[in-house]
A and B are shown apart, each in its own frame.
Chain A
């Protein structure tokens, strides 16, 4: 490892003390091997899956997946599937360690924002031909694409909507939910002034994951995280500033709080202190848990209000097969089974995970729900961040700057500029 080239670079490095900027640019890595670009050439064979398969899944999915695997085994008697549940907190580390040590399972559930990183590490097997990609929501399908190659398939999705208290909205004189930016602002004001709320809406004032609430506004104003080729960040644009300005105005006008205690969203929604927030489908359940049956009929949702578009954030998980798998053919058969509309509807009933396949939404268990069809509609216009290697790091910088904007009054223009500067320093990563 310590060859003369290292010594040579050490010399260059000490010159960097005087000319850092130059050295930083000059000592870039040059020996990267391109990892993207491999096209799917394989196809999945006919016939049932066989042999042993190991599968990793996180959180409640890991606990529920064995039930679904019973159905898979019935159709494929020759297969034996072992599911290992992994806690979400430990998952990212476990995956990267396993990638390094070559101890990966055959297939796994993978968080959508990790796809870029894992693909860059060369761990993922490109999706074979013969998958019906037209059935997936487009935003969800895009999370599987890294540098033009598709890895795995979307498994389940979630998207963010505005939750509101129907009874308090009526008290505030609002009978139909707003559809545009002005409407949302007016509603937050009315909630505060007429319905006795402390704050009109709960918006995250920076901190972990706040980009997921900020970006829908920026996307709706026409902003993008990167250019089309996903090589350059485009945070410092008038569109981004417009989104940030709108987001900040809720704090400066006292319609959203900067110091709300964490993990109190449900409680404050139930007691009417903060009767609106933006979040995903799981919140319907946790609000009902916090407020009991009485609150259920008063939970309303509406789509992200419109500026140029009404674009929300799409998250969820993809299902992938790893390159190192010794039983790839059967692993892909499992993935195919998981993305079948019937399986997706069955899985919804077991896990409450929303299907990534559009046709599964026609299942009565979803179509007759009072809230879920709105999520389905929002999914038609929902985006995920591009699958870039350094996304987690960029997101962290983004969250920090949003915190400065919401809490200490940093201007939207400066915020956009600071995010752009930091993101460019971090780089998109990969090759």
Chain B
């Protein structure tokens, strides 16, 4: 209990308090010069054009990225579940590998893939006569590039959970469907998917929270550019900490916290067992 107070509750409450003050880095030495400013930081953050842009980018990333990741994960899980059992372990490891690989190593590979002149992607596009854009330097394409990269990197972890869910469904359920004359798609849609509901809830909540905190991909790939088109809320918050604007930065962190809490709550309402 004491440890919890000292290392968890204390810092959380402390930072919450901080978000209502005008504390800057220099004030850490002279804490008595800190003034309470009420909700000023929150108002300031919400009025900040760049913060709103970052919020929009984060929403974009989540709205496209989470479904994409989950569909990829579920697809891979179904294929693994039905596929040749002999190679199952190999594919499991293969798909899971990006999850455990350092983002820095992944960034190097993806920079090569997305490189405009001799990158893998544009070379392949060139074969079919398409002149690919400069992915990471384009305002339009930078975000889709990062979404693709994030989905590729993260779907493995959701896949493992889906696979466990699928293997938890007894074969008799599908056999029953087969006897009733349901096709493969119908069996999947009306039998498997509803039974997977708790698994879908779990993966969409965890993936959603992870993606709302979208940080590493723009940090290593684009630094939020070009023209702030890949700047995320987490990254903007991080920048504000770097500038020593602790009060403003913590308020941004709490805005993100509230948004995550609300979205998670909605997910639970939509997907819980009826």
Interchain CA distance A96-B239 in the complex, whole Å: 15
Query: What distance in Å separates the Cβ of A385 from its nearest Cβ neighbour in chain B?
Result: 15
Partner of A20, one of B40, B223, B244: B40
- Which of B23-31, B84-92, B195-203, B261-269 forms contacts with chain A? B23-31
Query: What distance in Å separates the Cβ of B115 from its nearest Cβ neighbour in chain A?
Result: 7
Interchain CA distance A14-B34 in the complex, whole Å: 18
**Does B22 lie within 8 Å of A407, measured CB to CB?**
no
**Does A393 lie within 8 Å of B29, measured CB to CB?**
no
Given the interface contacts A261-B116, A392-B243, A396-B239, does A27 sit within 8 Å of B226 by beta carbon? no
**Does B137 lie within 8 Å of A259, measured CB to CB?**
yes
Interchain CA distance A400-B236 in the complex, whole Å: 13
B36 within 8 A of A: yes
Residues A45-103 near B (CB distance < 8 A): 96, 99-100
Measured between beta carbons, the chain B residues less than 8 angstroms from A390 are 243
**Does B36 lie within 8 Å of A13, measured CB to CB?**
yes
Measured between beta carbons, the chain B residues less than 8 angstroms from A8 are 36
**Does A1 lie within 8 Å of B32, measured CB to CB?**
yes
Partner of B31, one of A1, A20, A33, A259: A1
**Does B26 lie within 8 Å of A404, measured CB to CB?**
no
**Does B243 lie within 8 Å of A20, measured CB to CB?**
no
Measured between beta carbons, the chain B residues less than 8 angstroms from A99 are 29
**Does A208 lie within 8 Å of B223, measured CB to CB?**
yes
Q: Would you give the 0/1 interface string for B3-37, flagging 1 where the beta carbon is closer than 8 Å to chain A?
A: 00000000000000100111001101111111111
**Does B33 lie within 8 Å of A13, measured CB to CB?**
no
Query: What distance in Å separates the Cβ of A86 from its nearest Cβ neighbour in chain B?
Result: 17
Interchain CA distance A400-B25 in the complex, whole Å: 24
How many A-B contacts are there with CB distance less than 8 Å?
A: 109
Interchain CA distance A30-B31 in the complex, whole Å: 14
Interchain CA distance A99-B245 in the complex, whole Å: 16
Measured between beta carbons, the chain A residues less than 8 angstroms from B245 are 393
With both beta carbons as reference points, the residue of chain B lying nearest to A120 in the complex is identified as B26
Tell me how many residues of A have a C-beta within 8 Å of chain B.
Answer: 45
Measured between beta carbons, the chain B residues less than 8 angstroms from A353 are none
Interchain CA distance A152-B163 in the complex, whole Å: 63
- Chain B CB count within 10 A is highest, among A9, A13, A16, A396, for A13
With both beta carbons as reference points, the residue of chain B lying nearest to A399 in the complex is identified as B225
With both beta carbons as reference points, the residue of chain B lying nearest to A1 in the complex is identified as B31
**Does A407 lie within 8 Å of B227, measured CB to CB?**
yes
Partner of B28, one of A2, A17, A100: A100
Query: What distance in Å separates the Cβ of A430 from its nearest Cβ neighbour in chain B?
Result: 8
Query: What distance in Å separates the Cβ of B44 from its nearest Cβ neighbour in chain A?
Result: 7
Query: What distance in Å separates the Cβ of A230 from its nearest Cβ neighbour in chain B?
Result: 18
Query: What distance in Å separates the Cβ of A127 from its nearest Cβ neighbour in chain B?
Result: 22
A254 within 8 A of B: no
Query: What distance in Å separates the Cβ of A417 from its nearest Cβ neighbour in chain B?
Result: 14
**Does A9 lie within 8 Å of B226, measured CB to CB?**
no
Q: Would you give the 0/1 interface string for B190-233, flagging 1 where the beta carbon is closer than 8 Å to chain A?
A: 00000000000000000000000000000000010111100000
Measured between beta carbons, the chain A residues less than 8 angstroms from B31 are 1
Measured between beta carbons, the chain B residues less than 8 angstroms from A23 are 37-38, 40
Given the interface contacts A33-B33, A259-B138, A392-B243, does A13 sit within 8 Å of B20 by beta carbon? yes
Measured between beta carbons, the chain A residues less than 8 angstroms from B239 are 396
B39 within 8 A of A: yes
**Does B227 lie within 8 Å of A404, measured CB to CB?**
yes
Query: What distance in Å separates the Cβ of A146 from its nearest Cβ neighbour in chain B?
Result: 14
Interchain CA distance A221-B240 in the complex, whole Å: 32
Query: What distance in Å separates the Cβ of A71 from its nearest Cβ neighbour in chain B?
Result: 36
Measured between beta carbons, the chain B residues less than 8 angstroms from A11 are 38
Interchain CA distance A15-B38 in the complex, whole Å: 9
Known A13-B40, A16-B37, A207-B226; further 12 A-B contacts with Cβ < 8 A = A1-B31, A6-B21, A9-B36, A11-B38, A15-B38, A16-B40, A23-B38, A24-B44, A29-B33, A121-B25, A261-B134, A403-B226
- The 26 sampled A-B contact pairs (Cβ below 8 Å) are A2-B36, A8-B36, A9-B35, A9-B36, A10-B20, A10-B38, A13-B39, A15-B38, A20-B43, A20-B47, A27-B35, A27-B37, A27-B38, A29-B33, A31-B32, A32-B33, A96-B25, A100-B28, A206-B226, A207-B226, A259-B116, A396-B243, A400-B50, A404-B227, A408-B139, A408-B227
Interface residues of B (CB under 8 A from A): 17, 20-22, 25-26, 28-40, 43-44, 47, 50, 115-117, 134, 137-139, 223, 225-228, 239, 242-245
